[in-house]
A and B are shown apart, each in its own frame.
Chain A
């Protein structure tokens, strides 16, 4: 291993060691950027919700965008450092205008040929800029493909912008149908731009016409290609090829790996930098980005032909770009001007050399730009006269350049930190001057107000229930229903229990004869009538259930629109609404189990006929028992049921059974007629208990606070604007200010600690 190789490897190892430190710092600055952005949003939010308010006025004077810009500056600087320390290779960029032998030099440096790095005469042929890495073992190409979106954004959109064609098509179909003009007028419509814009328009139309040839490759994936077949992916089609076949348009990035014809370096990369003056949109920006992020050293190639033998303005501008990409390093350490002497006249070579020597590198000013004269096509000359000196140079200057880049970034970060801190102090000062309740205070106040509001409406509801429970309250609907059911039962009784008086008497007589007694038939009939009557009176059940529903509906109404908002959008009945409310409270981020339980209690109202009425109604039907429970009591019922086994006897029995049934029905209706009051008293008691438990239980106060904390936005949906929202925004500003201050302190302590540790 040569000396250069060792030294360059040491540079790369050192860089690698720095990577985690840089990454951590980037993370911290990303957090700072996020906080400054959020802070800006929060301040903007306070101004939006209450434009004329005190809060908006005081915070409006702050330059929060400046804080975010400062954070972005730091991140940009750190990104440059990261790009540098993250490189596993020493990268040499090759720059130069078309037709100056840039591709030829790359071929000489990498050992590749025209198939991989197209060079040629006439039109430029390089369609995709490749990065070429030296490897003694691997050989091949790895292509990263565009997605449809990135293709439209990064390839087509710049053409549209440059040509003044408006926004790029939103998708490929739109692109394929897009109608491009025949002549490029440019954004300003000036004919003077035609020579520059005309070829651009031709390029984008070619891309449109050839869409079918590359559309299938716009996958965003990667492809591995053999170097023998790489040309179609990186070069414009040759003159005799199909004009509408342009797969290179789908390639976003191409990395070629092969063995360079050199011995004393292992980790070397070559970057084909797009040339200035190339007729593609954004060429200069791409060039600068490439210089900044991808390379450690730049070789600018210039071929002194008859028309190109002077150091021209565009050459100077290219060199300036190189300087601006590496501000902290001396451009003369960073760049080399290669005078490509291959196939050039000696006088032209001399002319250019002289121009460089006298005009660019003023001898009076000491050290000038590094200039080498060599034939770029001569691989030996390139290796010996260019690559070896460059590698030796880099082994010497890269540690120094790395230090300078890092030191510059640290300085940038510190400066931006100071700027942010200063602005943050202004924010803190403005915020301190504003007084609004704390979030906790506001939650407590809101919880109390909600509790008071609900207590008042629940009390009104309970008062209404109390009125209904009063002796004199007339539930006319219920009484009418009871009268209706009673009348129906009475009609049934008087119509011979549903079968007709005569038929009943005939059946009775038949049974008397079979049994030779009247009592068995009479007993069976009374039993049947009793069961049927209990069943028929169950018809009031619907009204009992209706009362229960009304109770629930009253409760939901009394809880008011805020609670309704907790289950907004659910088109349900009152029972379902209460069930949903219970679930919401139970499953809240901080559950409110006691409040949820009160809803459970409200749902547990039992008012059905079986539970409420039947037990008492059964006693009213006792008169229909053929015998007393105590047989020794001398049942008088038996005297009523024992009749002669004759037609007269059956008529007499019919009359007596009818009387008993009428009495039972009458007594049953009397039981039912008392039900509205009892029901109302039950509902009143339930309501009173609910109100008591909901508003005044031990945990009520605490759970109302939790409720407000968890569902504030739902409970007060209209408060997206106004002073309350501004106060909420101010609290957010305070919180973010504190967080940002913490992040800055963290960043400062780390930076100091790292400096001490270094």
Chain B
């Protein structure tokens, strides 16, 4: 397994996860501008992002686009990105965000699906090591459900069952003794919030209602997390994100459907229009995800340094050995931020010049990481 900083994502497919990642990349790049540090996706992630950008361009040409119907996530997707210094083609600080079907948490479901059986050990390990649980929410589903029958359809459409099961699994892992010292952040991220805010070119005044609805609908998930992390704290971040920033929900369409259990329910599809011509993408608050991940890393690093200063080296090493078995978060801190990775690489390069260059890049990376973590949060973002 790659030694990376991990996050897990749970939410219905087609909620806009790839668009979210695209937005995260875009905002992180803005934060990194002028630093010679890039956020680089791996090949598969880049393909997804490329495809997503192509669809967006087509929509802009058409002046209108529709959101896809929401469904439970059917397959596992891993989004890998790295913070990497310019010119460094291999190394960097890798982040891995795993999106997988919540239904896999059910052993019976897993037994029916070969893909689930095959990937579950990897999934489980990823969830256990995830610093962050990211819950994307389609804001329009919450906000546009005005009749009782529409409101009743919300829970299914937003996959509350999967989300809550996943939250329990993640929180329980975070509460294990070996992970109790590690950071834990739960990010609830309503997406496509353009219509409800007036701080990004829109005229909406419904931010309080969105916040209230999210609190109300995700209360039981938050209760589960609280209940499962009695021996530690979890940072809960509410981050309503504009993944486009230049669209308005034009019409919401509720249509009849038969759900997986054969019961009559409703489906929701949003029809969007561009607010201005030509449209200019104005992502809002998407950087929160990277910021929170960087904060986790920085806080881990700070903790290591504090312990180094406070204890004898031997004691520290013992502790490090204990925490690094298996390598996990602390191993990743040590490997990527304390110089092991570059030393290994330098050993291979066998050149002093190369070693000096690598050390410089490491320092820049660490600084960028800290800068991202320290960037003030978007005013929309709240810690609950």
A interface, CB within 8 angstroms of B: 471-474, 479, 622-623, 636, 639-640, 655-656, 659-660, 662-663, 666, 670, 673-674
Contacts and interface: CB of A to CB of B under 8 A. Distances in A.
A298 B271 CA distance: 122
Contact of B151 (A471, A639, A660, A663): A471
Please classify how large the interface on chain B is, using the bins under 10, 10 to 19, 20 to 34, 35 or more.
20 to 34
B147 A479 contact: yes
A639 B277 contact: yes
Interface in B48-100: 63-64
B276 A673 contact: no
B148 interface: yes
A479 B249 CA distance: 21
18 contacts: A471-B151, A472-B151, A472-B152, A474-B147, A474-B148, A622-B203, A623-B248, A636-B201, A636-B276, A640-B275, A640-B276, A659-B63, A659-B64, A659-B250, A660-B273, A666-B250, A666-B252, A673-B147
Which are the 9 A-B pairs with shortest beta-carbon distances? A636-B276, A673-B146, A659-B273, A666-B251, A639-B276, A663-B250, A472-B148, A636-B275, A474-B148
Given A636-B201, A662-B250, A662-B251, A655 B147 contact: no
Contacts of B181: none
Given A471-B148, A640-B276, A670-B252, 9 more contacts: A472-B151, A473-B148, A474-B149, A639-B277, A640-B277, A659-B64, A659-B273, A666-B250, A673-B146
B258 to A, nearest CB: 20
Nearest to A642: B277
Contacts of B252: 666, 670
Chain A binding surface, main DSSP class: helix
Contacts of A655: 63
Contacts of A471: 148, 151
A662 B248 CA distance: 12
Nearest to B146: A673
Contacts of B144: 670
Interface string B142-160: 0010111101100000000
Contacts, number: 47
B160 to A, nearest CB: 17
Nearest to B203: A622
Interface of B: 63-64, 144, 146-149, 151-152, 201, 203, 248-252, 271, 273, 275-277
A317 to B, nearest CB: 104
Nearest to B205: A619
Nearest to A625: B203
Nearest to B251: A666
Given A639-B277, A663-B251, A674 B148 contact: no
A670 B251 CA distance: 10
A622 B146 CA distance: 20
A148 B298 CA distance: 124
B194 to A, nearest CB: 12
Contacts of A673: 146-147
B315 to A, nearest CB: 59
A13 B250 CA distance: 112
A317 B224 CA distance: 123
Contacts of A674: 146
Contacts of B146: 670, 673-674
B63 A656 contact: yes
A639 B147 CA distance: 35
A483 to B, nearest CB: 10
A454 B263 CA distance: 44
A670 B276 CA distance: 24
Contacts of B148: 471-474
A655 B63 CA distance: 9
A655 B274 CA distance: 12
Contact of B248 (A472, A473, A474, A663): A663
A756 B277 CA distance: 120
Contacts of A622: 203
Contacts of A662: 250-251, 271
Q: Which of A471, A655, A666 has the most CB of B within 10 A?
A: A666
A356 to B, nearest CB: 118
